[in-house]
Structure 1
Amino acid sequence: MTRPLFVMICALAALTAACDGERTIRISSTHTGQDGPHGVLKVVDALQCPQTMGSLTRKGTAHAGGSVCTYVGAKGAEVSLHLIQLDGTSVDSVLEAFQTRLSQEMPLTIARLRAAEETAAAEAARADGDAAQADAEAARADAAAAEESTTVQMPGVHIETHGDNADVKLPGINIQSHGDRSHVRIGGINIQSSDGSGQVNIQSGEDRVSIQSHADSTEVRTSTGGDATRITWVLNDPEASESGWRLVGYEARGPRGGPIVVATVRSRDSERGRVFADARDLVTLNVGR
């Protein structure tokens, strides 16, 4: 058994008190009402735009009929707060427009991520097109790996490895690792990852987290299940864009049918830090959690 796999198994066993001491891991989910665990979001007619919010200071007064406020933060960070009436338009199309505009602030970062994504897709297509050869190679690999197989069976624990493939079953935990792809289930949480594409997808019920990374560039999207809109999108890169930005993103919330409140963020720091938290607090002030 390879050392990384052994370490992973021991760590998981520790979570079930099978290695050293008594440890526990708890994953809980609570839902109240149709809008999920955070309560019902408010319907608002105009934005509340305080003069300050944490590290942010408002520039001027609300404009566009009380539907837009702008703020500045540390190191020239910029936050814009928007009240969007859907008027039959889908939330996805509204947020896609915000994402497109923000992505234009960091074009090289987006280009690198999309290129990596396309490369991974092309490689997957080539693999599918050469399935016969892959099956033959897999058969030979299975035969070669037979001598390196390991099986551990005890009450509540099943571990089986074949070369680079591993299946691990512990109480409440199921791990399948085949080549560069992994699938982990912990209670009601599903985690899928691919080293080749730099993608990680996490799902717990209707809640989802999607991560796309290449080198030091990262794109993260989160969404909370339920009828209401609760979506976060962040693009960050330690290498500044031509305009100096290292992080752009948005926080969007609103009741079913709208309106939704969207806080857009542009920052010269690659970490979310205070400015993103303050932007989120502006959204919370207007529509709730």
Structure 2
Amino acid sequence: MHHLLWPVCALALLTAACDDNGGSSSKVRITTSSSDNDGKGVLKVVDTLQCPQTQGVLTRKGSAQADGATCTYSGPRGAEVMLHLVPLNGRSSQEALKAFEDRLAGDLPQALAEVRAAEARNQAEAARADADAARADAEVARAEAEAARAEAHGGHGSTAQVTAPGVHIETQDEKATVRLPGMRIDADGDRANIRIGGLTIRADDKSSQVNVRSNDEAVSIDAHDGAARIRTSAPGQSVRATFLMTTNGADAETGWRMVGYEARGPVGGPIVVATVRTKDRNENRVMDAAKALVTLNVGD
């Protein structure tokens, strides 16, 4: 029953992109998890960095800087990690981290251009999706009012409908509308718009594009066939933030395939930021070692 595929695929996007043909190309996989920061320790205020000679797969290059504010590490396949101690001096952490993000994204200019173009398309799609959702809600109300009088579709009909208190599911050819408590899904052909609590997911299977947003801006993901940009920030009174940008192929200008940072510190600063540049977009060992350096300095 192909008309029931999109609601299942839409839910599956929380952990993996749907592939109607079972193929392995042009997929975007996203896994999400959440944790309670109340269990996290208090982050330390530091005035100089701890820069061990080695950390995981990283080896420090030369001596730590005399001012104790930066140190540089090298990793597998030419990976580079720089550890920074960043005073805020009255700035917000968002302002300080935006400067790091801009510099890192500049090292993947082609991916940045692709992500920005996809972001512009997504904004236009979001406006259209909101209008479609309003129309769908009106249709749901109409369908619920007529549900008592509607006759069941039999044979090979292309429409299916389920209506119960707080529940409405309707599929027709390539379209599907799902309304459950705290959840809404609107799908039309290759596109799906999903809202679960404060999380909004917009997906276009045809272009392998996925956009994820949370209402509190704690998660932001823009992913498509050529590049991905991910931002996360944890709630609470401390700074805990991650930024990643990846591209399928090495950038023609810089040779990098993944850039990003891990940042933590007290809300008033200073914060410790580990910037990462690698030529392998799946080099998790480098990112893990960078996070360990940050933890060594300010805690978890």
TM-score range, shorter chain: 0.7 to 0.9
Provide the C-alpha distance between the structure 2 equivalents of 1:245 and 1:65, rounded to a whole number of angstroms: 29
Q: Paired residue for 1:220?
A: 230
1:238 aligns with 2:240: no
Q: Paired residue for 2:67?
A: 65
1:278 aligns with 2:278: no
Query: CA 1:183/1:6 → structure 2, altered by over 3 Å: closer, same or farther?
Result: closer
Q: What is the deviation of 1:272?
A: 4.2
User: Structure 2: which 5+ residue stretches go unaligned?
Assistant: 13-32, 144-149, 154-158
1:177 aligns with 2:185: yes
Q: What is the deviation of 1:123?
A: 5.0
Q: Paired residue for 1:52?
A: 54
Q: Which amino acid aligns with 1:3?
A: L
> 1:207, 1:224 within 8 Å by CA — same for their partners in 2?
no
**3-state SS of paired residue (1:65):** coil
Provide the C-alpha distance between the structure 1 equivalents of 2:256 and 2:7, rounded to a whole number of angstroms: 42
**3-state SS of paired residue (2:5):** helix
Q: Paired residue for 2:202?
A: 194
The sequence identity of aligned pairs, in percent, is: 43
Q: Which amino acid aligns with 2:4?
A: R
Deviations 1:228-269 (Å, cap 9, x if unpaired)? 100000001121012210000000000020000000000001
Q: Which amino acid aligns with 1:199?
A: N
User: Structure 1: which 5+ residue stretches go unaligned?
Assistant: 12-26
Query: CA 1:263/1:227 → structure 2, altered by over 3 Å: closer, same or farther?
Result: same
Query: CA 1:288/1:120 → structure 2, altered by over 3 Å: closer, same or farther?
Result: same
> 2:230, 2:244 within 8 Å by CA — same for their partners in 1?
yes
How many residues are treated as equivalent by the alignment?
A: 250
Deviations 1:176-230 (Å, cap 9, x if unpaired)? 1113211124xxxx43111256311246xx6822110121311111110011100
Q: 1:160 aligns with which of 169, 188, 196?
A: 169
Deviations 1:2-26 (Å, cap 9, x if unpaired)? 2315756999xxxxxxxxxxxxxxx
Q: What is the deviation of 1:160?
A: 1.9
Query: CA 1:182/1:103 → structure 2, altered by over 3 Å: closer, same or farther?
Result: same
Deviations 1:66-91 (Å, cap 9, x if unpaired)? 10000000001000000011111221
Greater displacement, 175-184 / 258-267: 175-184
Query: CA 1:6/1:41 → structure 2, altered by over 3 Å: closer, same or farther?
Result: closer
Q: Which amino acid aligns with 2:227?
A: S
Query: CA 1:29/1:6 → structure 2, altered by over 3 Å: closer, same or farther?
Result: closer
Deviations 1:45-100 (Å, cap 9, x if unpaired)? 10000000000000011115010000000001000000011111221111111111
1:78 aligns with 2:80: yes
- How well do the aligned residues superpose, as a CA RMSD in angstroms? 3.3
**3-state SS of paired residue (1:198):** strand
Q: TM-score under structure 2 normalisation?
A: 0.73
Q: Which amino acid aligns with 1:220?
A: I
Query: CA 1:194/1:42 → structure 2, altered by over 3 Å: closer, same or farther?
Result: same
Q: Paired residue for 2:239?
A: 229
Provide the C-alpha distance between the structure 2 equivalents of 1:167 and 1:226, rounded to a whole number of angstroms: 34
Provide the C-alpha distance between the structure 1 equivalents of 2:232 and 2:164, rounded to a whole number of angstroms: 38
> 1:193, 1:201 within 8 Å by CA — same for their partners in 2?
yes
Q: Which amino acid aligns with 1:232?
A: T
Provide the C-alpha distance between the structure 1 equivalents of 2:54 and 2:287, rounded to a whole number of angstroms: 14
> 2:276, 2:290 within 8 Å by CA — same for their partners in 1?
yes
